Chain A
Amino acid sequence: AQSVTQPDIHITVSEGASLELRCNYSYGATPYLFWYVQSPGQGLQLLLKYFSGDTLVQGIKGFEAEFKRSQSSFNLRKPSVHWSDAAEYFCAVGANFGNEKLTFGTGTRLTIIP
């Protein structure tokens, strides 16, 4: 069965500093990978997704993620965070089945300090 691990429950970063959120997945073949963001009191919004091809994926709001098959990872990065990036971030993996088989990680809460 597929699974996703987000090892960091909560991360605090200074505004303007770089950010990396970790995501590790477990799946036998090449997965479909997603990063979603959830602002307080809001639903989830897709930041980016990886299907195949270039392992460095660009998303919205200046985010990018790199798929590393050897490490089973899909870490999310941003070179310089803004106060508006404070939110909860979810990694998700899809498998060979349909879209309904998305498995979400438990999320990483990002706090930005001035």
Chain B
Amino acid sequence: NAGVTQTPKFQVLKTGQSMTLQCAQDMNHNSMYWYRQDPGMGLRLIYYSASEGTTDKGEVPNGYNVSRLNKREFSLRLESAAPSQTSVYFCASSVGTGRGETQYFGPGTRLLVL
């Protein structure tokens, strides 16, 4: 099992460019999440998908869109990148959204927006 995989590992964008971050999990999990990690801020939830076909906003959704393509894949799209979106992005998955379910994280995507 690869667990949670993310592509790309690194990306440099210019302001205004668009890109999609890909995430896939092979653990047959129902729920998937996108977080961003900024220095001194911990992890903050951008969007999540409780199950295939559903998505909901997290704490910091502005400037992002998501697609739950199927049970395995959950993508994050930046339509018009801004320097404030420079961050490390983590995808995670869990069996469900029940209280206390363990979230399994991917290795992250480092994004730099110039």
Contact = CB atoms under 8 A, between A and B. Distances in A.
Interface of A: 4, 9, 32, 36, 41-46, 49, 51, 90, 94, 96-100, 102, 104-107
A5 to B, nearest CB: 10
A43 B31 contact: no
Nearest first, the 9 A-B pairs at minimum CB distance are A43-B105, A98-B97, A104-B42, A32-B100, A99-B97, A44-B105, A104-B43, A106-B42, A100-B48
Contacts of A36: 105
B33 interface: yes
- Interface range on chain B (Cβ under 8 Å from partner): 20 to 34
Interface of B: 4, 31, 33, 40-45, 48, 50, 56, 58, 90, 92, 94, 96-108
Contacts of A45: 105
Given A41-B107, A44-B90, A45-B105, A99 B41 contact: no
B107 A99 contact: no
Contacts, number: 66
Contacts of B94: 99
Contacts of B31: 99-100
B3 to A, nearest CB: 9
B60 to A, nearest CB: 13
Contacts of A107: 42
Given A99-B31, A100-B45, A106-B40, A51 B102 contact: no
A49 B56 CA distance: 25
A100 B56 contact: yes
B85 to A, nearest CB: 19
Contact of A43 (B97, B99, B102, B108): B108
A51 B98 CA distance: 12
A49 to B, nearest CB: 6
Given A99-B103, A100-B58, 17 more contacts: A4-B42, A32-B100, A44-B103, A49-B102, A51-B100, A94-B99, A96-B99, A97-B99, A98-B98, A99-B94, A99-B98, A100-B33, A100-B45, A100-B56, A102-B103, A104-B42, A107-B42
